[in-house]
Amino acid sequence: QVQLVESGGGLVQAGGSLTLSCAASGRTFSAYTMGWFRQGPGKEREFIAGITSTDSSTYNAESVKGRFTISRDNAKNTVYLRMNSLKPDDTAVYYCAAKLFGLGTNVREYRLWGQGTQVTVSS
């Protein structure tokens, strides 16, 4: 069983950048598709970006295309989310999640979740 721990959140001004990390325990990290989600105040949890286990194909939500980049380092059991040009609307708790068998964007497809890390973007 893989366990996930996010880090790297914090307070940043609009236009700034942050890189989130998600460290996974367990020996099977490379077998999982990894995703980043976020949940803003009063909002539902939404998909942000995903990266597959096989060829590291990536997919980003329209709201973050061109600004956020997901990547993974299987040797370090870590997935990253580089966030540039941050906006106040990006304020949310950011979660990493893991699933098997291909890329997905639905919360219900992901069976393993981290505890989340808060990102606050000030205007």
Query: Is 99's pLDDT higher than 90?
Result: yes
Query: Is 76's pLDDT higher than 90?
Result: yes
Tokens of 70: 């997901």
Cα-trace Rg, the chain: 13
Alpha-carbon span 25 to 3, nearest angstrom: 5
Alpha-carbon span 50 to 72, nearest angstrom: 10
Sheet holding 18-24, edge to edge: 4-7, 18-24, 78-83, 68-73
Query: Is 1's pLDDT higher than 80?
Result: no
Query: Is 78's pLDDT higher than 80?
Result: yes
User: Taking residues 65-88, what's their average pLDDT?
Assistant: 96
Query: Is 55's pLDDT higher than 90?
Result: no
